[in-house]
C-alpha cells in the first residue's frame, strides 16, 4: 500500500488553518465585543394600523447584553401582549457586533386615535427617553386569501383545522385580594389598604391583565372609604414582588396602595369585588399548524371585611389631640435678647401619621411675649408601606418685658400615640432671657394724641355763668328769626 505522505500533510495543514480560524473567530466573539461602545435605542413601530394588527415598541441594545429593563408604558385603548426577544451577531471585516432586542406588542381594543405620551425607560441602569407618538387605529386590514407560510407561523390554517383543534383549560394557581394591615383602629389612626393579584411561582397557566385601568376605577368606587383622609402611594407601573403567603411563595402584583385615616368613628366596610384576567387555554396537540392557545377570561373574587373604628380614650385632650407617633424638634434663633428686638421659634413635629391633620400648637396669650401667627410648612413621604414626614410651625416673638421665659409655658401641642395608647404633650424645652426696659409703658407714652388734645392743656376749665353770656343768646335768637322768615317766603312763592 502506497501512502501519499505529502497529501496527508497538505490535508493536515488545511485542517490546522481552519482550527486556527475558528479559534480566532471565537476569540473575537468573546473579547472583541467588550471593546465596542454599547448603545441603547427605543423604536416606535407603525402608527397607522388596522384593528386586527399590533402596535409595537422595540427596545434594542447594540454591542452589549440586555440584562434588565423597566416596564413598557401602558397605552389607553390598547392591551399589552407578551414581549418577544431576539438577538443577532455579525462579523464584518473582522469586527464583531451584537444586537439584542425586546419587542412589546399592543393589541388595540377599539378604533380611534390614541396618544402615546413621551416616556422614559431604564435599561441596564441607564435612562432612555422616547418622544411618544400618535396612533391611528382603523378598520381591520383584509389579509390575503392564501398565505403558504401562514400555517407554519400559526396565523392561518383552514377553518376546519382550527375547529378540530382542542384546547385544555390549565388551572390558574393565583388569587386576587383587597387587603388591610389592621382590623381595628382609633379615630385618626392610619391603616394601609392594597389591591393585589398573587400568582404562585409554580403556576403554569398563562395570565395577563385585562383593561386594568377601567377595572381598578370600578373597584375603588366600591372599596375606598368615604369617611377617611387618603394618602395615595400612586403606583405608576405594576412590578412583581416575591412574598410568602401561608408558607407558599407568590409573585405579588400590587395594583393600588394607600393609607387611610378615619375622620370619625363610623366602621369601615370593604365590599367584595372581582377582577377579570385573561387566561390562555393550551392546545391539546402542539404543532406548527393552527393556533396553539386560545384566549379566555377568568374572574377572580376578593373577600369583604369590616374595620372597627374606636373613639379616642376619654381625656381633656380628646377633642384637640393630633393622632400619630410623633416627636418634636425645636430651634430658637437667639436665647439672649433685649426688649425691642425679636426672636424666632421653630416648632417641628415629625414622625408617622396623618401629617396634614396635625393641629396648630396652642399658644398662651401674654403681654410679656407677643406671638405672631406662625408660618407653616410640611413634608410628606409615602414609601415602604408607611407615611412619614414633618410639619413645622415658625413663630415670630417680640418680648415686651425683661425676664427669663420658659417657652414650654407658652407653646404646646397635645397628641395621642396609638402605639402606646397614651396622650402626650409636645412642647419646647428652651428658654430666652430678655434684658432692657419695659416696652408696655413706653408704648403708651409714645402714643400721639393730636393737636386737639394738646390745646386742651392750655384751656380754662373754670365754670362760667350763663348770665354772663347773654349776647350769645341774642345772636342765636336773631338767627332763628331769619331762618323762619326765609322759610315762609319760599313757601308763599310756591303757592
Instruction: Note whether 414 and 341 are same-domain residues.
Output: yes
Select from 277, 310, 343 the last residue of a domain. 310
When pLDDT is averaged across residues 100-111 and rounded to a whole number, the result is 87
Evaluate if residue 234 carries a pLDDT over 70: yes
What is the separation, in whole angstroms, between the first and last Cα of the chain? Answer: 168
Mean pLDDT of the chain: 81
| 3-state SS class at 355 | helix
Where are the strands (E) in 2-151, listed by range?
39-44, 48-50, 55-62, 78-80, 84-92, 95-108, 112-116, 119-123, 126-130, 133-138
Confidence of residue 134 (pLDDT cuts 50, 70, 90): very high
Instruction: Note whether 177 and 278 are same-domain residues.
Output: yes
User: What is the residue whose three cell numbers read 396652642?
Assistant: 362
Evaluate if residue 107 carries a pLDDT over 50: yes
pLDDT at position 483 is 76
pLDDT at position 65 is 77
Instruction: Note whether 192 and 224 are same-domain residues.
Output: yes
Residues facing 195 on adjacent strands: 178, 256
- Confirm whether 161 is domain-assigned: no
**C-alpha cell belonging to residue 88:** 443577532
Q: What share of the chain is helix, strand, coil (3-state, %, to 5)?
A: 20, 45, 35
Evaluate if residue 364 carries a pLDDT over 50: yes
User: What is the residue whose three cell numbers read 312763592?
Assistant: 493
| Neighbouring C-alpha atoms within 13 Å toward the C-beta of 164 | 9
pLDDT at position 472 is 62
Phi, psi of 27, rounded to the nearest 5 degrees: -65, -40
pLDDT at position 357 is 94
- Give the domain extent around 420: 322-441
Instruction: Note whether 113 and 230 are same-domain residues.
Output: no
Contact 173, 204 (CB under 8 A): yes
- Confirm whether 467 is domain-assigned: no
pLDDT at position 414 is 97
pLDDT at position 215 is 93
Give tens-digit pLDDT for 272-325. Answer: 999 999 988 877 665 554 566 788 899 999 999 999 999 999 999 999 999 999
Instruction: Note whether 115 and 218 are same-domain residues.
Output: no
**C-alpha cell belonging to residue 106:** 399592543
User: Beta strand pairing status for 386-399 and 375-383?
Assistant: antiparallel
Distance between CA atoms of residues 362 and 321, nearest Å: 11
Lowest mean pLDDT among 36-40, 196-200, 284-288: 284-288
User: What is the residue whose three cell numbers read 390562555?
Assistant: 280
Closest CA to 234 of 207, 216, 252: 216
The residue that leads in pLDDT, 351 or 10, is: 351
What percent of the chain has pLDDT above 70?
Answer: 74
- Confirm whether 431 is domain-assigned: yes
User: In this structure, how many other beta carbons lie within 10 angstroms of the beta carbon of residue 44?
Assistant: 15
Distance between CA atoms of residues 14 and 26, nearest Å: 19
- Confirm whether 464 is domain-assigned: no
**C-alpha cell belonging to residue 315:** 381625656
pLDDT at position 461 is 55
- CATH code, 365: 2.60.40
Instruction: Note whether 91 and 172 are same-domain residues.
Output: no
**409: alpha, beta or left, given left = phi > 0 and alpha = psi -120 to 50?**
alpha
Element (H, E) at 335: none
Name residues whose C-beta falls within 8 Å of residue 191's C-beta, 6 or more positions apart in sequence. 180, 181, 182, 185, 259, 260, 307
Evaluate if residue 218 carries a pLDDT over 60: yes
Distance between CA atoms of residues 260 and 187, nearest Å: 11
- Confirm whether 475 is domain-assigned: no
Distance between CA atoms of residues 237 and 230, nearest Å: 20
When pLDDT is averaged across residues 42-52 and rounded to a whole number, the result is 90
Instruction: Note whether 245 and 336 are same-domain residues.
Output: no
Contact 221, 256 (CB under 8 A): no
The residue that leads in pLDDT, 310 or 144, is: 310
Find the angle CA(222)-CA(226)-CA(228) to the nearest 5 degrees: 125
- Confirm whether 29 is domain-assigned: no
pLDDT at position 37 is 67
Instruction: Note whether 433 and 341 are same-domain residues.
Output: yes
The residue that leads in pLDDT, 460 or 361, is: 361
Tell me the chain's radius of gyration from C-alpha atoms: 42
Select from 257, 283, 310 the last residue of a domain. 310
Closest CA to 352 of 308, 384, 377: 384
Element (H, E) at 109: none
**C-alpha cell belonging to residue 274:** 372581582
Instruction: Note whether 295 and 224 are same-domain residues.
Output: yes
- Confirm whether 40 is domain-assigned: yes
Select from 310, 345, 366 the last residue of a domain. 310
Give tens-digit pLDDT for 48-94. Answer: 998 888 899 998 888 877 778 888 999 988 888 767 777 665 545 55
**C-alpha cell belonging to residue 360:** 396648630
Instruction: Note whether 133 and 183 are same-domain residues.
Output: no
| Signed CA dihedral, 105, 110, 111, 117: sign only | negative
User: In this structure, how many other beta carbons lie within 10 angstroms of the beta carbon of residue 399?
Assistant: 24
Lowest mean pLDDT among 70-79, 258-267, 405-414: 70-79
Most confident of 69-73, 450-454, 464-468: 69-73
Instruction: Note whether 104 and 230 are same-domain residues.
Output: no
Instruction: Note whether 331 and 287 are same-domain residues.
Output: no
User: What is the residue whose three cell numbers read 405608576?
Assistant: 236
Evaluate if residue 466 carries a pLDDT over 50: no
pLDDT at position 71 is 87
Q: Give the number of domains in the chain.
A: 3
DSSP-assigned letter for residue 35: G
- Confirm whether 477 is domain-assigned: no
Amino acid at each position: 500500500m502506497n501512502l501519499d505522505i505529502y497529501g496527508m500533510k497538505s490535508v493536515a495543514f488545511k485542517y490546522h488553518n481552519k482550527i486556527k480560524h475558528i479559534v480566532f473567530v471565537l476569540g473575537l466573539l468573546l473579547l472583541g465585543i467588550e471593546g465596542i461602545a454599547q448603545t441603547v435605542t427605543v423604536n416606535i413601530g407603525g402608527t397607522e394600523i388596522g384593528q386586527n394588527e399590533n402596535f409595537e415598541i422595540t427596545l434594542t441594545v447594540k454591542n452589549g447584553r440586555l440584562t434588565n429593563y423597566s416596564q413598557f408604558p401602558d397605552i389607553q385603548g390598547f392591551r399589552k401582549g407578551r414581549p418577544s426577544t431576539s438577538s443577532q451577531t455579525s462579523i464584518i471585516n473582522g469586527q464583531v457586533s451584537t444586537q439584542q432586542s425586546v419587542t412589546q406588542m399592543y393589541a388595540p381594543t377599539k378604533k380611534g386615535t390614541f396618544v402615546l405620551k413621551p416616556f422614559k425607560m431604564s435599561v441596564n441602569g441607564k435612562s432612555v427617553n422616547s418622544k411618544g407618538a400618535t396612533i391611528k387605529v382603523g378598520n381591520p386590514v383584509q389579509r390575503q386569501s392564501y398565505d403558504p407560510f401562514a400555517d407554519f407561523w400559526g396565523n392561518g390554517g383552514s377553518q376546519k383545522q382550527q375547529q378540530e383543534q382542542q384546547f385544555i383549560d390549565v388551572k390558574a394557581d393565583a388569587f386576587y385580594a383587597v387587603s388591610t394591615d389592621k382590623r381595628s383602629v382609633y379615630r385618626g389612626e392610619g391603616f394601609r389598604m392594597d389591591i393585589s393579584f398573587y400568582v404562585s411561582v409554580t403556576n403554569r397557566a398563562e395570565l395577563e391583565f385585562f383593561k386594568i385601568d377601567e377595572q381598578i376605577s370600578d373597584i375603588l368606587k366600591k372599596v375606598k372609604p368615604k369617611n377617611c383622609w387618603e394618602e395615595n402611594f400612586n403606583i405608576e407601573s405594576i412590578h412583581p414582588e416575591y412574598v410568602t403567603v401561608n408558607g407558599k411563595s407568590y409573585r405579588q402584583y400590587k395594583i393600588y396602595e394607600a393609607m387611610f385615616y378615619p375622620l370619625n368613628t363610623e366602621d369601615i366596610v370593604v365590599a367584595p369585588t372581582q377582577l377579570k384576567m385573561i387566561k390562555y387555554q393550551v392546545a391539546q396537540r402542539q404543532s406548527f399548524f393552527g393556533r396553539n392557545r386560545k384566549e379566555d377570561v377568568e374572574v377572580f373574587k376578593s373577600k369583604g371585611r369590616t374595620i372597627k373604628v374606636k373613639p379616642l380614650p376619654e381625656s381633656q385632650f380628646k377633642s384637640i389631640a393630633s393622632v400619630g407617633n410623633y416627636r418634636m424638634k425645636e430651634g430658637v434663633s437667639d436665647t439672649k435678647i433685649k426688649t425691642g428686638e425679636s426672636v424666632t421659634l421653630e416648632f417641628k413635629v415629625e414622625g408617622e401619621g396623618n401629617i396634614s391633620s396635625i393641629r396648630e400648637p396652642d399658644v398662651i396669650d401674654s403681654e410679656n411675649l407677643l406671638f405672631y401667627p406662625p408660618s407653616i410648612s410640611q413634608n410628606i413621604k409615602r414609601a415602604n408601606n408607611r407615611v412619614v414626614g414633618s410639619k413645622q410651625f415658625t413663630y415670630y416673638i417680640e418680648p415686651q418685658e425683661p425676664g427669663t421665659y420658659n417657652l414650654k409655658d407658652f407653646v404646646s401641642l397635645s397628641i395621642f400615640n396609638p402605639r402606646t395608647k397614651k396622650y402626650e404633650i409636645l412642647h419646647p424645652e428652651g428658654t430666652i432671657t430678655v434684658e432692657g426696659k419695659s416696652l408696655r409703658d413706653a408704648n403708651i407714652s409714645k402714643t400721639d394724641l393730636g393737636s386737639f388734645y394738646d390745646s386742651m392743656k392750655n384751656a380754662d376749665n373754670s365754670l362760667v355763668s350763663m348770665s354772663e353770656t347773654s349776647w350769645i343768646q341774642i345772636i342765636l335768637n336773631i338767627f332763628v328769626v331769619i331762618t323762619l322768615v326765609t322759610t315762609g317766603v319760599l313757601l308763599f312763592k310756591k303757592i
